[in-house]
Amino acid sequence: MSAFAKPLKIALGLAVIAGLILVPMNFNRYGLFILSQWAVMSIAAMGLNLTLGYAGQVSLAQGAFVGIGAYAAAIMTTHGWPLPAAILVAITLSFAVGWVLGYPALRVQHHYLAFVTLAFSTLAFLVFRNESWLTGGIYGISNIPRPHIFGIATNKPLPFYYVCLGLLAIVSLAVWWLIRSPWGRAFMALRENPLRAQSLGIDTRRYTLMAFAIGSALGGVAGALYAPLTQYIDPVPFNLSLSLDLLMMVIVGGAGFYFGPFLGAMIAVLLPEWLRFTEGYYLMLYAVAVMLLLIWSPTGILGILDRTMAARRTKAASALRAVAKSRLETVQ
């Protein structure tokens, strides 16, 4: 069974990747925009999944880091810097701010931590809105250029979609590697039992800060892509509701599952679009769908899969046990 499952998984993965590359080729402008947005939000949600799903630290500030990344990219690229440089600055900046924001997590946990990060999120929004000398205030920053990658202009929607997809792939691989590394294991130890983690010699202090900083840095990457995607930013998209949306994506997809953020972002970005035909009702239906899903499976979509797999495994195991038992009896 398991010898068969691995090639199947690889084939499925390749099919999805091929689909993501090939299918959008004849999408229209809007379809490509939505799909690019999905890629961007997946990156941000993946960062939050590291902080929340793997390390167990609740953050309501991921939207603020997307904002920090977006403003860093917008300000730098409109002043003639190339996007890769802006992405590096966005990562460094978000990492540093995320590290500092991690300090409260050393003192308080759970809902208290959520509230500290919520307050930070609001403060960041106020800075975006009020420091007009830097951020353009409520008028925002317009004419954000899209990059040239290896000499190819990505002004058109399709090439830029591939930029988003490419960065999503890089981030996905990095996260895949990270959660399999000793660091990822330390994060999970932190989530499952901080006291035990500490007694096993894990520097919980450092890993808590790391979980925040790395998760935030990915938020910054997402932001640095968001700015050239929309080519115009103002403070409104980076208010608290983005942080709440991202949190919703992680939980709905399945916190602590590698593929959770992809699915969660798909639901949050694409489901409302699919429901557009219902006109004014689409966000209402979306809200109801999220509630029903969470009532059905509080661990998100992948939680359902996880449970059915576990149930099947138990079933298979008990079947084997029954066979073994009957054999034993015949021997006797």
Partner 1 sequence: MSNLFDLLVAGLATGAIYALVAVGFTLLWQTSQTINFAQGEFVMLPAFLMLAAMHAGAPFWLAIILGILLSMILLGLAFKMLLVDPMMRHGVLPLAIATMALAIGIKEAVKQFFSAEASPFPSIVPTGDISILGHAVSLQSIGVLVVAILAVLGLTTLLNRTSLGHQMQAAAQNPTVARIIGVPVERMILLTFLINAFLVALASLLITPIYLAKFSSGEVLGQAAFIAAIVGGFNQVRGAIAGGLLIGVLDNLAAAYVSTQYRAAVPMIFLIAVILFRPQGLLGRAEERTV
Eight-state DSSP code of residue 141: B
Q: Rounded to the nearest whole angstrom, what is the least distance from the CB of residue 249 to partner 1 in the complex?
A: 10
DSSP 299: T
| Single residue of 86, 163, 224, 252 touching partner 1 by CB under 8 A | 252
Least distance from partner 1 to the Cβ atom of residue 267, Å? 11
CB of 181 to partner 1, least distance (A): 26
- Block residue for tokens 């007009």: 132
Q: How far is the CB of 323 from partner 1 (least distance, A)?
A: 36
Residue 137 backbone zone (phi > 0: left; psi -120 to 50: alpha; other: beta): left
Report the amino acid identity of residue 330: T
Among the residue ranges 42-50, 62-70, 182-190, 281-289, the one whose residues contact partner 1 (CB under 8 A): 281-289
Query: Which span (120-128, 147-155, 156-164, 182-190) binds partner 1, by CB under 8 A?
Result: 120-128
Helices and strands counted in the chain (H then E): 14, 2
Give the closest residue to 242 by CA, choosing from 13, 69, 12: 69
Report the residue from 99, 115, 258, 259 that binds partner 1 according to the rule CB under 8 A: 115
Q: Should residue 188 be labelled a site residue for partner 1 when binding is judged by CB under 8 A?
A: no
Candidate segments 71-79, 87-95, 225-233, 287-295, binder of partner 1 by CB under 8 A? 287-295
Per CB under 8 A, does 240 bind partner 1? yes
Quote the crossing angle between the two packed helices 204-230 and 62-78, to the nearest 10°.
50
What are the respective helix, strand and coil percentages of the chain, to the nearest 5? 85, 0, 15
Nearer to partner 1, 57 or 94 (CB): 57
Given 81, 96, 99, 122, the residue binding partner 1 (CB under 8 A): 122
Q: Are 284 and 331 in contact (CB under 8 A)?
A: no
Does the protein bind partner 1 through residue 199 (CB under 8 A)? no
CA gyration radius for the chain?
Answer: 22
Find the binding residues for partner 1 in span 85-114 (CB under 8 A). 104, 107-108, 110-112
Q: How far apart are CA 206 and CA 110, in angstroms?
A: 18
Q: At a CB cut-off of 8 Å and minimum separation 6, what does 232 contact?
A: 140, 141, 142, 143, 144
Least distance (Å) from partner 1 to the CB of residue 122?
5
As a whole number of angstroms, the distance between CA 246 and CA 46 comes to 9
Asked if 323 is part of the footprint of partner 1 (rule: CB under 8 A), the reply reads no
* Binds partner 1 (CB under 8 A): choice among 244, 270, 271, 305: 244
Number of residues that bind partner 1 (CB under 8 A): 38
- Beta strand spans in 89-159 (E): 148-149, 152-153
Residues 130-149 that bind partner 1 (CB under 8 A): 130
Q: What does each C-alpha distance from 149 to 17, 26, 88, 125, 165 come to in angstroms?
A: 21, 22, 15, 31, 13
Q: Closest separation between CB of residue 130 and partner 1, Å? A: 4
Residue 126 makes contact with partner 1 by CB under 8 A: yes
Could you list the residues that contact partner 1 (CB under 8 A)? 58, 104, 107-108, 110-112, 115-116, 118-120, 122-123, 126, 129-130, 195, 240, 244, 247-248, 251-252, 255, 280-281, 283-284, 286-288, 290-291, 294-295, 298-299
